[in-house]
Amino acid sequence: MSPKDQVKIILADDHAMVRRGIKKILQEKPELIVTDEASDGQELLEKLETVTPDLVIVDISMPRMGGMEAAAQIKRLHPGVKILILTMHRDKEFLEKAMEIGVDGYILKEKMDVDLHRAMEYIFAGKTYTSPLLR
In the chain, where the domains are located: 7-134
pLDDT of residue 133: 81
Q: Which of 85, 81, 70, 71 is nearest to 116 (CA)?
A: 85
Whole-prediction pTM value? Answer: 0.94
CATH of region 7-134: 3.40.50.2300
List residues bridging with 130 in a β-sheet. 106
82/135: higher pLDDT: 82
* Lateral strand order in the sheet of 129-130: 32-38, 7-12, 55-58, 82-87, 105-108, 129-130
Q: How far apart are CA 30 and CA 40, in angstroms?
A: 26
pLDDT in tens, 27-40: 999 999 999 999 99
70/114: higher pLDDT: 70
pLDDT in tens, 87-124: 998 889 999 999 999 999 999 999 888 899 999 999 99
